[in-house]
Structure 1
Amino acid sequence: MATEKGNKKNNSAYINSSKYRKRVIWSGFLFGVGLAAFIDETIFHQLLRWHHFYDKSTTDIGLISDGLFHAFSWFATIGGLFIFADIRRRNAMCHKRWWGGIFLGTGGFQLYDGTIQHKLMRIHQIRYVENVFVYDLIWNILAVFMIIIGLIFVASRRSGQHFRKAAAHDHE
């Protein structure tokens, strides 16, 4: 019976460590999406005024779309931080995986923006110039680079070992 309870406890720690591992990545991912959207909106929409979120209508509609986009970025950021606070409270944080999630979220958002929104849906371009190809190329290469960094961080063996110890400690 004692062995059975010991196995249940070990299985519980394993299940929870898997759950927390995913939550750490999701926290970073949401924070990364929010961060990328915030930077995009602040720098390219407001400061440089290269485009609006939706450029196929009037300037007023473009500004409204920017406001909705800005609200989305803050919801993603706050959602990621709520999950982050819960993970920290449970002493199940793995910073390497969290940073991996941030890079995945930032790069994923940027690649989605550069391919789907810019090219497929054509709701806006990075910049309205004759040779936008250079801007698109740099934008998407940086996105892929961030995704690769995120995958390296998330797949790191060392971060998984550190995490299991923290999650097991939570159930002692």
Structure 2
Amino acid sequence: MRNELSGAMLGLGIAAFVDETVFHQLLHWHHFYDGSTPAAGLVSDGVFHAFSWFCTVAALFLFADLRRRRVYSGPRWWGGLLTGAGAFQLYDGTIQHKLLGLHQIRYDVDVAPYDWAWNIVAVALLAAGVVLLARSRRTAVAA
């Protein structure tokens, strides 16, 4: 379970880092919270970035412990990473974008193609992770 947890936390951290870096900082498409002033948006980005950084650091500590104890399982870890990245992205695209309305991917354009692309990538990552985890569990049971 620690393999999956370490991978999932790093997957979440990577997905959040890419979102923050590309869509918040480089493209300036949105902030984590766009319901207030630009200053509040920047603060929300900082909190979001800190959260993703803490997940990344914690994941790497868990990873180092897995390696130290010689219980690292590549398929389980990578399955966790893909599942974590996909779950974060799907949560962001459905809960944060649509249900809570914290922000949209872009503004002043038709967001439907962006939403579809965002969520299709999320489902693909999530599905790949779940398949990898299921295969690694079947292999472990058969061994």
State the TM-score, normalizing by the size of structure 1.
0.79
Letter in 2 for 1:46: Q
Shift of the 29–55 alpha-carbon distance from structure 1 to 2, 3 Å rule, reads same
Look up the match of 1:84: 63
Work out which of the residue numbers 34, 58, 69 in structure 1 matches 2:48: 69
* 4+ runs deviating over 6 angstroms: none
Q: Matches of 2:106 and 2:79 in 1, distance apart? A: 29
Task: Please say if 1:101 is aligned against 2:49.
Answer: no
Contact 1:97 1:159 in 2 (8 A): no
Any unmatched runs of 5+ in structure 1? Answer: 1-21, 166-172
Which range is displaced more, 149-158 or 69-78? 149-158
Work out which of the residue numbers 38, 44, 49 in structure 2 matches 1:59: 38
Tell me the C-alpha RMSD between the 2 structures: 1.7
Contact 2:75 2:136 in 1 (8 A): no
The percentage of aligned residue pairs carrying the same residue is: 56
Letter in 2 for 1:91: R
Q: Matches of 1:40 and 1:152 in 2, distance apart? A: 24
Contact 1:55 1:62 in 2 (8 A): yes
Look up the match of 2:12: 33
Shift of the 129–88 alpha-carbon distance from structure 1 to 2, 3 Å rule, reads same
Residues 56-89 of structure 1 show CA distances to partners (whole Å, capped at 9, x for unaligned) of: 0111000000001000000000111111111111
Contact 1:96 1:159 in 2 (8 A): no
Count of aligned pairs: 143
Contact 1:94 1:159 in 2 (8 A): no
Letter in 1 for 2:100: M
Q: Matches of 2:138 and 2:63 in 1, distance apart? A: 16
Any unmatched runs of 5+ in structure 2? Answer: none
| Structure of higher CA gyration radius | 1
